[in-house]
Amino acid sequence: MNPSLIHTQVDAQGRALVTLNRPEVHNAFDDTLISALTVELRRLEADSAVRVVTLTGAGKSFSAGADLGWMRRMADYSPAENLADAQALAELMRTLDRLAKPTIALVQGPVYGGGVGLVACCDIALASPRAAFCLSEVKLGLIPAVISPYVVAAMGARAARRHFLTAERFSAEEALRLGLVHELVAEGELAARGAALAEQLLQNGPRALVAAKDLVALVAGRAIDTALIAETAERICAARASAEGKEGLGAFLEKRQPQWAKGS
């Protein structure tokens, strides 16, 4: 991981803060940043000491989307290079979306294009009123292809049809209304609110958090049929029988903190 592109801090409680660190270009993506962020997310996922991952950007912007120099290089790519490049960005989005840790986005400023995909891939998104959003790809004759599954899941197909087509800039308040972000927080309080939310997550069973996140992926958009009912019943049975489930229920009945909780 190139420390000049991404800065990571992990505190004693297992809260990791990952900061996109290209403020001079508004944290725009290029192939190097995409690779570095993917590697860093996988490293944090594999680190058992890390329990929550928060993503933010240095400087005035969360992310300006694609870097101009990268776009210039892409113009000369062969079809195979072009496909590999797109697949790398798609893999970053999938890695963040399915990370086996809770994820929080702290959107302190404007976010464009692929940066909106990062926000949509996080489990929880907080934004300052100064944040603004734009799915700007069609202005360049492009489409927001690899981020589309996550953005559509976050804001809905109807809103996506408008914003994919118009490429208009919209406010943090509108992003909240659409469901792209969960809360608006005063800019000076954004980091503290993110830390408090991460602390709240630490009170919950680590394996249960992973399983709950995977449960959403399982049931979203599915018909409530016999197969789905059976699968969800099996999952709660497995959770009840697990060591973590037994510890959590035991702690509740005994009126004590479970072993995983802060301060236990």
With a CB cutoff of 8 Å and minimum separation 6, the contacts of 113 are 64, 65, 66, 134, 135, 136, 137, 144, 147
> Which residue in the list 137, 174, 187, 244 is annotated as catalytic?
137
Output 154-162 pairs: Cβ under 8 A, ≥24 positions apart. Answer: 154/119, 154/120, 154/178, 154/179, 154/180, 155/120, 155/179, 155/180, 160/135
Clarify whether 254 is annotated catalytic.
Answer: no
CA 24 to the chain's CA centroid: 23
Q: Catalytic residues, which ones?
A: 137
